[in-house]
């Protein structure tokens, strides 16, 4: 069986205890597969991506970087995305990965005009999602953990929105039949979200956000997390 590739584009915050791991560990845990069924490629560190034919699927992680900066390793990853689109390889992008998919496939990414979205929010499925193989088993509305300042400002041609909320119109998108992206973090547990809010408290207060209210609203997001398990099942079926 070909492995699932995790393209590591960033690290979690330093305040996360080392024993809690990083983005890739949370993704693997949610997919409920043995670790030897995954290969991790740290593109930030200059590691070379495998060809699409050597893997069964790919997940692109979140990052503190900005897609609009068009860093060399990020633009290199775009080439992989375009290869995946041509080969029908299943791909899931998370937060930065979601935005990178849009950029790679002809869309545009920029800072969100309303600023930052962080904490536990609720997202609602669109009508299109009801027939989507990845999203169709989700409830019409569900909680999801978020932390982002950039957004897809223009969707690529042919992309379909699968979930949104009042702040973010492109919370989930199907870019191609085999390529999905989510602006939210399905891999974030409630304790991780609390650490993000605590670590960034002074910045959030300076931005006029009610941190106490945001912290009180944090919860587990099992429906969002289920997307990772469902993606693994689809990729390996």
* 125: Cβ contacts below 8 Å, ≥ 6 apart: 135, 138, 139, 140, 141, 162, 163, 172
Q: CA-to-CA distance for 117 and 145, rounded, in angstroms?
A: 10
pLDDT at 72 over 90: yes
Question: Using one digit for the tens of pLDDT, what is the confidence trace for 194-233?
Answer: 999 999 999 999 999 999 999 999 999 999 999 999 999 9
Q: Which of 213, 24, 3, 2 is nearest to 118 (CA)?
A: 213
What's the pLDDT band for 156 if we cut at 50, 70, 90? very high
Question: Using one digit for the tens of pLDDT, what is the confidence trace for 1-47?
Answer: 899 999 999 999 999 999 999 999 999 999 999 999 999 999 999 99
Query: Which two three-digit tokens encode residue 42?
Result: 């740290």
State whether residue 236 is helix, strand or coil.
Answer: helix
CATH architecture of 4-236: 3-Layer(aba) Sandwich (3.40)
Q: Which residues of 31-45 are buried (b: 16+ CB within 10 A; e: fewer)?
A: bebeeeebebbbbbe
pTM for this entry: 0.97
pLDDT at 49 over 90: yes
The overall average pLDDT reported for the chain is: 97
Q: Could you tell me where the DSSP H helices lie in the chain? A: 23-31, 72-87, 96-104, 190-199, 201-206, 211-216, 222-236
Q: What is the mean pLDDT of residues 169-179?
A: 97
Mark residue 39 as left, alpha or beta (left: phi above 0; alpha: psi -120 to 50; beta: remaining): beta
Question: Catalytic site residues?
Answer: 95, 185, 187
């Amino acid at each position: 069986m070909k492995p699932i590739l995790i393209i590591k584009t960033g690290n979690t915050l330093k305040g996360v205890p080392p024993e809690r791991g990083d983005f890739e560990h949370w993704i693997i845990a949610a997919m409920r597969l043995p670790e030897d069924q995954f290969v991790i490629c740290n593109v930030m560190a200059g590691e070379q991506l495998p060809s699409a034919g050597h893997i069964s699927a790919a997940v692109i992680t979140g990052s503190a970087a900005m897609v609009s900066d068009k860093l060399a390793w990020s633009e290199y990853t775009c080439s992989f995305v375009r290869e995946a689109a041509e080969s029908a390889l299943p791909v899931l992008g998370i937060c930065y990965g979601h935005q990178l998919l849009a950029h790679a496939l002809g869309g545009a990414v920029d800072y969100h005009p309303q600023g930052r979205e962080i904490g536990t929010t609720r997202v609602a499925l669109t009508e299109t999602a009801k027939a989507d193989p990845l999203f169709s088993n989700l409830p019409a509305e569900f909680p999801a953990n978020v932390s982002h300042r950039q957004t897809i400002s223009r969707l690529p041609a042919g992309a379909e929105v699968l979930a949104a909320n009042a702040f973010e119109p492109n919370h989930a998108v199907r870019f191609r039949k085999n390529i999905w992206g989510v602006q939210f973090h399905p891999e974030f547990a409630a304790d991780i979200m609390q650490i993000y809010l605590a670590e960034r408290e002074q910045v959030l207060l300076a931005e006029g956000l009610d941190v106490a209210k945001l912290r009180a609203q944090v919860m587990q997001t099992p429906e969002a997390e289920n997307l990772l398990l469902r993606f693994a099942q689809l990729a390996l079926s």
